Amino acid sequence: MFLKTLFSVVLVSMTMAAAAQEVGQSTSTPGPAPLGSTATITVIPGGQEDRRVPVKEKISSPEVPIRDYPMRPFSKAGVAVKISTMGAGFDVATPLTRTLNLRGSAMFFTFGHDFTTDGIPYNASLDFKGGAVNVDWFPFHGGFHVSPGVYFLKSDLGGTLLVPAGQTFTLNDVDYTSSGVDPIHGNGSLVFPHTVGPSLTVGWGNILPRSGKHWSVPFEIGAAYFGKPSVTLNLAGVACQGVNCSSVATDPDTQKNVKAEQNTLNDDLKALQTYPIVSIGVSYQF
């Protein structure tokens, strides 16, 4: 009798434990779903029959855009072809830091132009070769940049002049007539006092875009300083005032007027001591 009672108690205890374990499993709350998986949420209202309502939600990680990534010094190179007030040329650039580029430039310019001033016709020509080294600083991590640098200039600006016989011309507000025996002729030249000068430009566009793009359109504006240029005039021939004719090279009064005309031209060139720089081009990053 005692054994039968003990067996009944053990059986009832095991049955209750199994039932409690089943209830605990049905009321457990599922843990959070791993990132990138599909989660199922089960809703069990208390005190009512279980009603499972699946709710699916896609969890994904946000995309992080790639922009302004760092660059190791000299790890890349870019080339630009451009046109500027200093001629046609090209730039080559390489990064120094995230916000700095080192850039070298070469420019070539040849130009011819005929003009007349004070009745004297000039046939002028300009042969210009130059180069530059700049550091491009991008303070806002975009296309805007400030670029201090150094420009190198090698120029040959000169011209010839010929006043046709019988034509009137002016030197220092004094009128002359070119002689038919030996018409006025000569040459002139323009020289910058310095072949190396500091420069400062600002611009938009990066030859080495930090976004990883290959193409860009750089634009730049600023100035370089080479000092005040000077003009030299050399005249020959015979100039007449009425019936009085004399050689330009030997007559003191005429030579004085030639020097005064030369000084007037030099005063007009003061603005060129700060040479304007405007350029635009197309660049490619390798």
HEC sequence for 212-274: CCCEECCEEEEEEECCCCEEEEEEECEEEECCEEEECCCCHHHHHHHHHHHHHHHHHCHHHHE
Residues 49 and 185 in one domain: no
Mean pLDDT across 229-247? 92
Residues 43 and 99 in one domain: no
d(CA 99, CA 215): 18
Q: How many domains does the chain have?
A: 2
Whether 35 is in a domain gets the answer: yes
**Whole-Å CA distances, 5 to 10, 12, 17, 80, 229:** 9, 11, 19, 100, 125
Residue 70 has pLDDT above 60, yes or no: yes
Residues 13 and 89 in one domain: no
Tokens of 252: 């003191």
**Beta carbons of 228 and 270 less than 8 angstroms apart:** yes
**Beta carbons of 70 and 265 less than 8 angstroms apart:** no
Mean pLDDT across 7-26? 45
Whether 69 is in a domain gets the answer: no
Residues 169 and 280 in one domain: yes
- Where b means 16+ CB within 10 Å and e means fewer, 262-272 reads beebeeeeeee
Residues 45 and 131 in one domain: no
Residues 49 and 165 in one domain: no
Residues 96 and 46 in one domain: no
Write the burial class of residue 193 (CB in 10 Å: 0-12 exposed, 13-18 middle, 19+ buried): exposed
Whether 175 is in a domain gets the answer: yes
Determine the pLDDT at residue 95.
96
Mean pLDDT across 69-95? 91
Q: What CATH number does residue 170 fall under? A: 2.40.160.170
Residues 160 and 273 in one domain: yes
* 103-119 tens-digit pLDDT: 999 999 888 888 888 88
Residues 90 and 203 in one domain: yes
Whether 246 is in a domain gets the answer: yes
User: How many whole angstroms from its chain centre is CA 160?
Assistant: 38
Domain encompassing residue 9: 2-58
Residues 227 and 86 in one domain: yes
The confidence band for 69, taking pLDDT boundaries of 50, 70 and 90, is: low
Residues 134 and 220 in one domain: yes
* 249-277 tens-digit pLDDT: 999 999 999 999 899 888 888 888 898 99
Residues 198 and 281 in one domain: yes
Determine the pLDDT at residue 127.
86
- Report the candidate in 284, 286, 275 with the shortest Cα–Cα distance to residue 82: 284
Mean pLDDT across 207-233? 93
